[in-house]
Structure 1
């Protein structure tokens, strides 16, 4: 723990990039204000916490309620209870001024333990639909902070749109101008599927590009995130099409790559859309089918309505239709530049500041409903 500090603020997030990235962004803001952020998460988080400015990172037992099998439910309940006991012990040790949860079932043990101990709490919902863990916590906290305007109310807890906090590496490129391009110039195409990758894109892009002419394919420069098990086949497919492509399971500085893109193809996870909006890049969004509560489809609504992105269901995106979007991207640079500007208008670049203001408000016992952004 750090020496001179205003006090500890506990951040709790499920161990995926979608939950951890906004928590990391808030941690940087809180540290800059003199607080010590402490992260409580699950064992999946190791991949994403290298740049986390925490006074401590604590892994507690956790599980997701994903099965109706009685044995599985009991096993999950026992794991969550173990996580609660461990979290309660941690709360007594660090004595946080506030507890802020960023969603995912791993937030349940630490957030329940903190609020049971009288620690004021906030849950932050990154998606346009309130997630299951946050719904369970809603009545226990002082505020539900949201990344999107259309998130519905839960219990009688005040709700406030703060936007989704973005990491310093996103803020570093938020003012990067959209790269100018003529219709005859090469097009930088960036494709990613969130922190877990997207097999669909690895399977869909080569056939769609194959429908274009050799000359058209030669005008693409592609950077694509792909699952490790799909990487070799994708490289082979692009090589056979004569396409220059950089492929990897994970890119450490994806925001910088987004800033260099003329066009992006992505899933519609909250972090992906937030970064596209704050940086301001045109995109084709393909919501993940079967995402919990249909949150990805809901996430994409604001960007589509602002004409900053095309949104297409995966089931409706065959090779011919995808080839049409690729053709449009090549031939209409002015259209893409306009979409980039529209996307930028939907971004909230100071969400971390807003959420930190909320944290200080609940710590001081102030009127959270008086906050205006």
Structure 2
């Protein structure tokens, strides 16, 4: 079969789409990608998949911005229809983000079945717009906010696809850690980095008790504008730290880590839980619909992570939390097991199975296995 994948230009949308593309190709299916210029520039993804960049409007900028967005969507939809006449997809899979919108509209206008994949614990804006026409909605969480109850019959919980090299980590023993072994900490702010991690983490590590501080080995991703300042701070504290603007070998780094300090993006949490790595999560407060806080809840509730809201994220609070979660080897390994308990390492396989069922059948498909959840601050508000 032929399958078109449509994904927005951030790593959170592109990484799971890439994982699905690899699995579909392994099964012998044809795959085509529709994205924007940002998505096409992400290194290491879709290198052997035909990729098409289409215009896609983004809301904002008042009436002028709205007019530009509508024109871009119309143009993108027209171009996508032309691509479908040549490629003839049996299904179109949307991973959210504005670049997916015209591709999904074009598919619905041509009676091509669509599948939506939602990486976050809050149904994204584009997925909300097109959910009514979707043949199936695949989710990464058992509870999903902004998901209307009438769509539950076509929802399947599959998880968030991760790279096979990451999923394999969950089958391996947790890195050895005792009273004398190095404490290896990985710090990542997602594909764009996070300035606040550079501001807070070094000082927090500097406040650890000597029995932990003297055993630290840190790998930290920094924004390019921040890296020299962070390097100076670690040097002043005499803490060994390898600083990078982009972590290309993330599976290897994650495999070595005892503890991860990170944002709560969907791909980050999917990799942490698939690999079984305990974490301290700092949700991005300006994320749309506060979806990173929602993402972090499941892992935190299971005991695999501690969540610190950004307004409370200080060196003192972070240092105390590191002491609790990494204070002894038993606590750390227990947190690792709890992180692994909510992982869904077979998400890629399960999503590919769902795509094959939709693409090969016109019959009604699924019994809902996901709960609609109204955000606490929006009780009674219209979805």
TM-score, scaled to structure 1: 0.93
Contact map agreement 2:325 2:335 (CA 8 A) in 1:
no
Match in the other structure for 2:375: none
Structure 1 position 324, deviation (Å): 1.1
Q: Partners in 1 of 2:18 and 2:349 — Cα distance?
A: 13
Q: Is the 8 A contact 1:190 1:222 kept in 2?
A: yes
Structure 1 residue 212, shift from structure 2 partner: 3.5
**Over residues 181-215 of structure 1, what are the superposed CA-to-partner deviations in whole Å (9 max), with x where a residue is unaligned?**
11332100000011111111011112222324666
Name the structure, 1 or 2, with higher relative contact order (CA <8 Å, separation 6+): 2
Distance of 1:63 and 1:274 partners within structure 2: 29
- Do the aligned partners of 2:142 and 2:369 also contact (CA within 8 Å) in 1? no
Q: Any stretches of 5+ residues in structure 1 without a counterpart?
A: 1-6
Please state if 1:250 is matched with 2:246.
yes
CA distance in 1, matches of 2:247, 2:346: 24
1:136-215 equivalences under 5 Å are: 136-152=129-145, 153-154=147-148, 156-157=150-151, 158-212=154-208
Alignment of 1:301-316 (within 5 A): 301-316=297-312
Alignment of 1:292-303 (within 5 A): 292-303=288-299
SS in structure 2 of the partner of residue 80 of structure 1: helix
Residue 123 of structure 2 is aligned to residue 130 of structure 1: yes
- What's the CA shift string for 1:306-350, capped at 9, x where partnerless? 111111101112121111123335532210100000110101111
Of residues 263, 266, 279, the one that matches 2:275 is 279
- State which of 211, 236, 239 in structure 2 corresponds to 1:240: 236
Distance 2:294 2:369 in 1: 24
Distance in 1 between the 2:368 and 2:68 partners? 42
CA RMSD of aligned residues (A): 1.9
**CA shift for structure 1 position 294:** 1.2
Write the deviation string for residues 106-146 of structure 1: whole angstroms up to 9, x where unpaired: 10011111121111110000001100010011011101110
Farther-moved stretch of structure 1 (89-98 vs 329-338): 329-338
**1-structure distance, mates of 2:345, 2:319:** 33
8 Å contact kept, 2:40–2:51: no
Deviations 1:143-197 (A, max 9, x none): 1110001015337431111111112232343322111211332100000011111
- Aligned with 1:219 (options 212, 215, 229): 215
Residues 95 and 27 (structure 1 numbering): CA distance in 2 closer, same or farther, change over 3 Å?
Answer: same
Residues matched between the structures, number: 366
When residues 86 and 326 of structure 1 are mapped into structure 2, their CA distance, relative to the original with a 3 A threshold, is same
**Equivalent residue of 2:169, what SS?**
coil
Q: In 2, Cα distance between the equivalents of 1:287 and 1:163?
A: 20
What do the CA deviations read for 1:70-98 (whole angstroms, capped 9, x no partner)? 11221222222222222121111111010
Distance of 1:321 and 1:56 partners within structure 2: 47
> How much has 1:278 moved relative to structure 2?
0.4
Pick closer, same or farther for the CA change 1:155–1:97 going to 2, 3 Å. Answer: farther
Deviations 1:277-299 (A, max 9, x none): 00001110111102101111111
* CA distance in structure 2 between the aligned counterparts of 1:159 and 1:216, rounded to whole angstroms: 45
Q: Secondary structure in 2 aligned to 1:331?
A: coil
User: Which consecutive residues of structure 2, in runs of 5 or more, have no partner in the other structure?
Assistant: 371-383
